[in-house]
Amino acid sequence: MKIIDQSWCFEQKPQNVMETLERAARTCYKSEDKIADGSAEKLIAALIKNGHHSVLEHVNISVRIITDRAVTHELVRHRLASYSQESTRYVKYDDVEVIRPVWFDDLSEFDSSINTWKSAMMVTENHYRYLIERGWRPEQARTVLPNSLKTEIFVTANVREWRHIFKLRCSKKAHPQIRVLMLNMLKEFVREWPVLFNDIAEEYIY
């Protein structure tokens, strides 16, 4: 058994994001003649401030996330995104990987609850291996695998949907595992496209 931390990375960062969104927005008003240096940022910032978010649907951003199955169960509830996820039906786990709960950071390394969790994960791995050895297919043996099981998921969503995801999953009301993941992602999204995501970061990070 391996215990790993959740992580993520960009898979596809679109080019000329602000310029694309500006051209889409100015189509509505036939004001393309007003395109100039810095005009995209100013226009898109105004649209976001005024709640006119439909234009943000013209740009998609893709990421790869490594987290646990419980987090992805919540993530895929966001309907307006596309997902491709590691399948427990077809992947046979010779060495089960589990995701470290983020709240372990708030516990002493000698806290007995951490050992209880580790013990449960090892028991699960032993049961899974036994079932595989008995001839069960991975799609059958997976029924004993825990929510903490590591999984990879490829996610594509447009800017408007990413904003929606961040607003819900960066909230203090969100589950701590997905909240830590999304706050980390939001910081990088802001670094790449500050105009598109800075207002959300100001609410949840700054």
- The number of helix segments (H) and strand segments (E) in the chain equals 8, 6
| Residue-range definition of the domain harbouring residue 19 | 1-206
- Decide if pLDDT at 27 tops 90: yes
Q: Catalytic amino acids?
A: 169
CATH of the domain at 169: 3.30.1360.170
The tally of domains found in the chain comes to 1
Question: For residue range 61-116, what is the model confidence (pLDDT) as tens digits?
Answer: 999 999 999 999 999 999 999 999 999 999 999 999 999 999 999 988 889 999 99
Q: Is 2 helix (H, G, I), strand (E, B) or coil?
A: strand
- List the structure tokens of 138: 């991975």
Question: For residue range 132-168, what is the model confidence (pLDDT) as tens digits?
Answer: 999 999 999 999 999 999 999 999 999 999 999 999 9
Strands of the sheet with 150-158, listed across from one edge: 7-12, 60-68, 150-158, 81-85
The set of residues, in sequence order, having a beta carbon less than 8 Å from that of 152 and lying 6+ positions away, is 64, 65, 66, 85, 86
Helical H segments across 50-175, by residue range: 69-75, 112-133, 138-141, 159-169
- Note the pTM of the prediction, 2 decimals: 0.95
Confidence of residue 206 (pLDDT cuts 50, 70, 90): confident
